A and B are shown apart, each in its own frame.
Chain A
């Protein structure tokens, strides 16, 4: 068993949840990982102060795709104000695998693009209280 490429990571990579298009949406954003040129976009539909629906578009490595897929399952139904404050720790805990410094941006790209869509802040997610 590989520490990084765990079964659930590969499963999300091969069959990513909530990938596609939401032509009618309230928020969207598009980001590029400067390390590798991978791209990820997101479209979000809001209802009653919550993320009612969400789709990612793009391509990337197993880590970035699995992170997006796993995050999507948590984000749909989440209160907007809670989603807007998610930090890097949330994403890394959700992934539950050891992420080296060189792969950190792969792991955080999906959260970055969601935060960008919801808050207009396109910076990389920081640590709690950072």
Chain B
């Protein structure tokens, strides 16, 4: 039986064999694997990069008090970035499915147009949802722009929705019925957390506090940039983004405010992106060039 744990291990092993560095989840609340610096910052500039990691993705407004069988406040993504995008990237992806015991010829696998966009990151890409037997299992994107900067080389980003895939493969009636490992179900591990997070984000969180944090982190981000510290500046921008999501889930963002807030976070992200690119140009700043990734 393919448990969630085994699923993560298999996919990680597969991509490791493809020459991906196995990073760890970012230690801050983020809405998607894309926001991890290992994606957002590494796609910028010319240096090649191959990386894979699991990222818990937190979206306060998606909370359902643990009552909806398909939606979670926090879900797990397996993020893979390949820069530059390999010629046979689609074939490699299909191989990754085979490594999970999926026989493509027994299924209906389609690449259906889905162009991903993140207004807060000033990022967008062109690509597909991979749909297997009617279920979306992966977001497959060629990154065109990040932080408002056109990207060259282009990164292929492959994002697996782990709970979905696990649910689909086991035909579970509810996300909480998935086996996390042989002994524990997903519900046993996370249901209580989902209930509490939902309660917090929809009812108990303090909007004044969230608003103050947002303002504060925005200032900190600018201060850090001025001091030439890109990573801390970007982290502060991520914190802004999360507090915005908190306010949004509370219903505390008015229509006009929303537009303005998104713009502010976007400006921060773009400033960080530009600063990052500038640091790559500084002599002595580049890490040692890695050995070119070799595909197995």
User: Do A and B actually bind?
Assistant: no
Which of B's residues lie within 8 Å of A, judged by CB?
none
